[in-house]
Amino acid sequence: MNVLGLNAAFLPGAAPERLREAAAWQRSRGYPPLVAVPGRVGGAGEEIASLRCGVYRADPSPSPLTAEQVSRLHLPRWAAVIAEAHGTPEWGSALARHLGRVLEGRRDYTLLLAYAGSEAVGALLWQAAGAGGRAHLWGTLDPAVDGALLNGAATLGEFLLASVPSTSPISVVEAEEVSFFLMKGDGNP
């Protein structure tokens, strides 16, 4: 779902004229009119997904699963896990190439992989943010790994801002919902 959000226009406030402008711009480039807005917008189109964004508090209970920081040399495997977790395994190598360029020299980003035994089953991109961090691009092949992966990220700073699918049992505090939807017609709500 997070990969889906990379192609959305973010429109806080979602005023009708802004929705129409965004729809026209996306259609003129051959893109579907995908929009991300805070909260829910009833009747504006087909909801694709929604996220809860907020502060993640680490779960102190022990887990048989492990999450660890990995070097950029692991970027191809990391990207393959993210892409597969979001149902687009064919995007793995392109995502690795793109992030390899974007993250070059950026020490404020850290890759984490989560394992079940020796198999990588979760991936997360952590970004330093003041005394804490952010985790908005992540995914797992097994929901049981979600907590271990976010717990690993939470150890990297004093706090962790994270986005989780609205259907996830993982909780975040001070949460705000963000909805992704395909606009109908000319973008009218």
Return the pLDDT at 89: 94
Structure tokens at 6: 């990379």
The per-residue pLDDT for 123 is 95
The CATH homologous superfamily for domain 55-174 is Gcn5-related N-acetyltransferase (GNAT) (3.40.630.30)
Residue 2, pLDDT score: 45
- Report pTM: 0.80
Predicted local distance difference test score (pLDDT) of residue 42: 65
Domain limits, CATH 3.40.630.30, in the chain: 55-174
Calpha distance 167→93 (Å, rounded): 28
Residue whose tokens read 């909780």 = 171
- Please give the Cα distance from 136 to 138 (Å, whole number): 6
Say which amino acid occupies 74.
H
Helix (H, G, I), strand (E, B) or coil at 104: coil
Cβ–Cβ < 8 Å for 127, 19: no
Q: Mean pLDDT of residues grouped by 10 in the chain (189 residues)?
A: 55 68 81 78 74 92 89 96 92 94 94 93 94 90 90 94 87 90 64
Contact 55, 174 (CB under 8 A): yes
Q: How far is CA 125 from CA 112, 147, 159, in A?
A: 6, 15, 15
Diameter over CA atoms, the chain:
52
